[in-house]
Structure 1
Amino acid sequence: MGQEKKAEKKTKDSSVPYGKEAKEIVAAIGGEENVDMATHCVTRLRFALNDEKKVDLDALESIDIVKGSFSTNGQFQVIIGQGTVDKVYKAMVQETGISEASKDEVKQAGAEKHQNILQRGIKILADIFIPILPAIVMAGLLMGINNVLVNPIFTEQSIIEMYPQWAGIADMINIIANTAFTFLPALIGWSAVKRFGGSELLGIVLGLILVHPDLMNAWGYGAAAAEGDIPSWNLFGLEIEKVGYQGQVLPVLVASWVLAKIEVFLRKRVIDSLHLLVVAPLALLITGILAFILIGPITFTIGSWITTAVVSVFDMAPVVGGLLYGALYAPLVITGMHHTFLAVDLQLIGTIGGTFLWPILALSNIAQGSSVFGIMLATKDEKLKGLAGTSGLSAWLGVTEPAMFGVNLRYRYPFYAAVIGTAIAGAFISFGKVKASSVGIGGIPAPLSIFPESWISFLIGMVIVIVVPFLITFIIAKRKLR
C-alpha cells in the first residue's frame, strides 16, 4: 500500500511541468521556511525572503532555467524568462508549501523588512510611474512616427510635403500620441491615488480637473506671465491664478496624496449610506481648492527650480553632465533610483518640450546589450552563450534586467565596459544638444523618439555604445573565459 502511494506521488510529481526545477529553486533560496511571500512578473520570480543570507547563489544559478538573480527594493528576484516563468511559478505553488501572492503584497513585505526611508520613497515613485509607463512609451513611439512624417530628415522636404495625402494620417497620429502627455496628470492621478490607498476613479477626476480646458494652458504660462496677462479668480480678495498643470508631475503627485488621505479619513467617519453623497464630493472639493490655492503654485515653483537646475548643468557643461549621467545611470538601475528620473524626464518634456536625459538612458540600455554580446561571442559555455544572446537582444529592445543582472554584474567587467561606453556616448550627444520629444523604447528603436535634427548625433552615440562596450568586453572575456 505504501509503495503504491509512493508510486502514485511520483507519477503526480512527474506530470507537473518544471516541478523539479521549482523545487530546486526553492531549496537554493533557503527552503520554504525562508520564503515569506512569492509572486512573479513577465520574466522573473519575485520573493520576499526572511533572510537573504541563506540563498545559495552557486546552486541557484547552476539550475538550467535560471538566467540570473539579484536583490532590489527588498525583493530577491530570479530571472527565468518570458513565458517559462509562469509555468515555473505555477509548479512552485503546486509542488511546495508556498502560496500565491500579489505583486503588491510581495513589494510591501519586502519594503517593510528591508527598505530604509529613501528606498521606500523611491519605491513609491516606481509604484506610481511603472503602471502608466506603457501608455507613455506608446505615446512616445507614435510621436516618433509623427516626427518622421512631418519633419525634413534626409531631404529638404518632409514626407507630408512630398505626399500631401499623408497629412491627415500624420495629424491623426499626432492627436493619438499627444493624448497621454496632454492628460498626463489624469494618468498620474489614477496611479498615485490608487497607490496611496484611495479610489483611482477620483484620481482620474483630480487629474482632469488640473488640466480643465477653462484653465490657462501651462505651456503658455511663461509668455502670459511676461505680459502680465494671467487669468485669475478672486476669492474674497485673494487672487488665485487660473492656471492648468499640463505636463506637470509634482502638482498632481502631492494633490493625489492629499486626496487619498482625505478620502480615507472621511470613509472611516461617514456612515455607509452617505458615502456616495459625502465622501467623493467633499474629498474632491477640498483637494481641488487646495490644489489651486496652495499645492499647485508651490509644487509648480519647485518643479521649475528642478528643471532650471538640471538644464543649467547641461547648458554650462554639457560634456560633463552627459559624462556623469551616462556613468551613473546603470549603477542607479541597481539601486532602483533610476525610476525617479522618469518624473524628471516628464517634467522636462512638459516644461521645455523635450528631455536630454532620456537619450542617455536609451544608450545605456544598448551598451548593456553590447557588453553581453561580447560575452556571447567570447565564451565556449553553451548555457552562457544562450543566456547572453537572448538577454542581449532583450537589452537592445529596452529591457536590460536579464543582461545586467544575469551576466554583466556577475562578471563585472562587462558592466564596467557598458558604463564606460555610455559615459563617452552621453558626453558626445550632450555636447550635440540631443533631445527626445518623448519617452519611448530605450534601445535600438530609440531614434524614433529623438528630434529629427539630432538623429545624426544620436546615431553616432549609438555606434559608440555598440562598439566600445563590445570590444572592451570581448577582449577581456577572451582572456578570462576558458
Structure 2
Amino acid sequence: MKADYRQIAADILEAIGGKDNVDKAAHCVTRLRLSLKDQSLVNEAKVKEADLVKGAFENSGVYQVVIGAGDVERVYAEFIKLAGLEAATVAEVKSAGGKKMNPLQKLVKVFSDVFMPIIPAIIVAGLLMGINNLLASEGLFVEGATLIEAYPNLQGLWDLINMMANTAFVFLPALVGWSATKRFGGSEVLGIVMGLLLVHPDLLNAWGYGQAALEGDVPTFNILGLFEIEKVGYQGQILPILAAAFILSHIEMFLKKHVPNAIQLLVVPITTIVVTGFLALAIVGPVTRGIGNVIATSLVNVFEVVPVVGALLFGLFYAPLVVTGMHHLFIAIDLQLIAETGGTFIWPMLALSNIAQGSAALAMFFVYKHNAKQKSMASTSAISAYFGITEPAMFGVNLPNKFPFYSAMIGSAIAAIFITLNDVQAIGIGVGGLPGFLSIFTDKILLFIVGMIIAIVVPFVLTFVLSKRYMKKGEIEENKVA
C-alpha cells in the first residue's frame, strides 16, 4: 500500500505543535531534522504514532524524526509545503540549535556538516577501490595469477576503474575545501581552489614525502632567499584543508566587511587565496600533517598494544555514538589512517556494528507474533541496516525494546575483537554493511566474512533468547514500538 506522505507530514506537524512552532526543517539520509521554537509543545507519543515514523528524539537542540531512507525525502517535501518553509540544509538547522551545544558537540557538528555532503563520493571511491583490489589480487580467482594477468583484455578496465577509484581520494582536499568553506561561511569556489592548490601537480605527491624526507631530497620554494617552504602536496589529507578552509573563510569575510564594494571582486579573491595559500603551505599544512600523523600513530599503537580492549570498546560503543551523532568523527579518522598507513582498521568494525544492529532487528521480526506493523518495521529496518543505514533498526526496533540493542552491541564487540586480532583492514570506506567485504584487503576477506557471521549470529541468537526470558507472554505485541 502506497504511503500518504502528505498525511504523514500533516500528522507530524500537528504533533510537534503546528507550523508556528517550526523555525527550520531539513533532512538527512533517514531523519527529519527540525529546529523548533518550543520543544515543550511536542507530543512525542503522537509523533511516534504517525505512519512510517520509527522513532523521535531531541539531540543538541535539534528535534529528529526517524523515517527511513527514500521515504524521508518525500515526507520532507510535503512537510515544508504544509509548514510554509523554505528548504534548509542540515547545517542551517543545526546552527539554529547550536546555542544549546557544549564544545564537544559543536566540534562533532562541524565534522558532520563538512563530511555529510561528500560521503557519497567517498563511499563510491571506496567501493571502486575494492573492485580494483579484487581484479588485481593474485590467486583470488586464478591460481598463481591475478585476473588481469590471466585475462590481459581486462587491463584497460582495471586502469579505468583504478582512475575512478583514486579520483575522490587524490582530490579529497578539493571536496573538503568546498564543503568546509561553505560550512564556515566563505565562498565555496575559493574553497575548491584552495583544496586543488594543496594537491597541485607541481607539489611532491604526499605519498612520496616519507621517502623523500628520509633521503633528504624534499623540494622547496626559496622565498626571496629568506626561508624555504617545502613543495609537498596533501593528497588524501583532511586536517590541512579543514584548517585552511577555516582561515580562508574568515579572511574573506573580514575583507568583504572592510573593502569597498567597487573593488571587492578585484581585491578580495586574490588576497584571500594568496594569504591563505601562503599560510597553508608554510605553516598550516606542516603543522596539521604532524598532528594527523600523531593521531594515526597513536590509534595504531593503542590497537597494537591492547587490541582486545580497543576492539571491545569500539564494538560496544559505536552504536551508542550513532545515537548521539558523534560517529561522524570517525570518517576523518578513517581517511587519516588510509592516507598515513594505506588502510583503516576502524571502518571494518563500523560495518560489523551496522550488521549486528540489523541482525537484532531481524530477530525481532520472528519474536513479534501477530503485530503486522511491528513485523514489517523489523524486517525493513533490518534490510536497511544490512546496507549501512542503521537508524530505522535502532530507533524503531532495538532501542525501544532495549535488549535487542544490547544484544547487537555484544555481537558487534565480539566480531570487532575477532577481526582486530586478525588484522583485518579496509582499503577504503565503502557501504557499511553486508557489501562491506568489497572494501577489505583481499587476503583478509575470508576473515572479515567470519566476522560478519559472528555479527549476524550472536545478536540474532541473543535477542531471541532474551525475548523469551525477560518478556512476558504477549508483552511484545502490546508494546508500542515507535
1:170 to 158, 168, 175: 158
2:221 to 233, 239, 242: 233
Alignment pair present for 1:408 and 2:395: no
Amino acid corresponding to residue 257 of structure 1 in structure 2 = F
Mean CA deviation greater in 432-441 or 223-232: 223-232
Answer whether contact 1:267 1:279 (CA < 8 A) is retained: yes
Amino acid corresponding to residue 118 of structure 2 in structure 1 = I
Answer whether contact 1:374 1:477 (CA < 8 A) is retained: no
Amino acid corresponding to residue 367 of structure 2 in structure 1 = A
User: Which residue is equivalent to 1:221?
Assistant: 209
User: Which residue is equivalent to 1:432?
Assistant: 422
Q: Structure 1 pair 319/339, CA: closer, same or farther in 2 (3 Å)?
A: same
2:136 to 150, 156, 159: 150
2:124 to 134, 138, 147: 138
User: Which residue is equivalent to 1:59?
Assistant: 46
1:53-452 superposed matches below 5 A = 53-95=40-82, 99-103=85-89, 104-112=91-99, 114-152=100-138, 153-154=140-141, 155-235=143-223, 236-380=225-369, 381-452=371-442
Answer whether contact 2:177 2:194 (CA < 8 A) is retained: yes
Shift of 1:232: 1.7
Taking the aligned partners of 2:13 and 2:350, their CA distance within structure 1 comes to 34
Shift of 1:121: 1.3
Shift of 1:93: 4.4
Taking the aligned partners of 1:172 and 1:414, their CA distance within structure 2 comes to 44
Mean CA deviation greater in 54-63 or 186-195: 54-63
User: Which residue is equivalent to 1:48?
Assistant: 35
Amino acid corresponding to residue 408 of structure 2 in structure 1 = A
Q: Structure 1 pair 273/440, CA: closer, same or farther in 2 (3 Å)?
A: same
Taking the aligned partners of 1:431 and 1:143, their CA distance within structure 2 comes to 24
| Partner secondary structure for residue 355 of structure 1 | coil
Shift of 1:39: 3.2
Shift of 1:300: 0.9
Amino acid corresponding to residue 103 of structure 2 in structure 1 = I
Taking the aligned partners of 1:458 and 1:393, their CA distance within structure 2 comes to 20
Q: Structure 1 pair 409/241, CA: closer, same or farther in 2 (3 Å)?
A: same
Taking the aligned partners of 1:19 and 1:232, their CA distance within structure 2 comes to 61
1:453 to 443, 453, 459: 443
| Partner secondary structure for residue 240 of structure 1 | strand
Q: Structure 1 pair 331/275, CA: closer, same or farther in 2 (3 Å)?
A: same
Shift of 1:55: 3.0
Taking the aligned partners of 1:237 and 1:94, their CA distance within structure 2 comes to 61
Shift of 1:59: 2.4
Shift of 1:142: 0.7
Answer whether contact 1:375 1:388 (CA < 8 A) is retained: yes
Taking the aligned partners of 1:414 and 1:403, their CA distance within structure 2 comes to 10
| Partner secondary structure for residue 434 of structure 2 | coil
Q: List per-residue Cα deviations over 1:18-52 (Å, max 9, x = no partner).
A: 55443432333344454333333444322112343
Amino acid corresponding to residue 136 of structure 1 in structure 2 = I
| Partner secondary structure for residue 391 of structure 1 | helix
Answer whether contact 2:312 2:414 (CA < 8 A) is retained: yes
Shift of 1:388: 0.9
Shift of 1:240: 2.1
| Partner secondary structure for residue 359 of structure 1 | helix
| Partner secondary structure for residue 202 of structure 2 | coil
Shift of 1:110: 2.0
Mean CA deviation greater in 294-303 or 54-63: 54-63
Answer whether contact 1:37 1:98 (CA < 8 A) is retained: no
Answer whether contact 2:181 2:249 (CA < 8 A) is retained: yes
Shift of 1:352: 0.6
Q: Structure 1 pair 157/72, CA: closer, same or farther in 2 (3 Å)?
A: farther
Q: Structure 1 pair 284/411, CA: closer, same or farther in 2 (3 Å)?
A: same
Q: Structure 1 pair 332/160, CA: closer, same or farther in 2 (3 Å)?
A: same
Shift of 1:194: 1.1
Taking the aligned partners of 2:353 and 2:70, their CA distance within structure 1 comes to 26
Q: Structure 1 pair 183/164, CA: closer, same or farther in 2 (3 Å)?
A: same
How many residues are treated as equivalent by the alignment?
A: 465
Shift of 1:115: 1.5
| Partner secondary structure for residue 63 of structure 2 | strand
Answer whether contact 1:355 1:437 (CA < 8 A) is retained: yes
Taking the aligned partners of 1:342 and 1:396, their CA distance within structure 2 comes to 19
Taking the aligned partners of 1:172 and 1:369, their CA distance within structure 2 comes to 35
TM-score, normalised by the number of residues in structure 2: 0.92
- Structure 1, gaps ≥5 residues long: 1-15
Taking the aligned partners of 2:39 and 2:221, their CA distance within structure 1 comes to 57
RMSD: 1.9
Taking the aligned partners of 2:468 and 2:95, their CA distance within structure 1 comes to 43
Amino acid corresponding to residue 304 of structure 1 in structure 2 = N
Shift of 1:82: 4.2
Shift of 1:417: 0.9
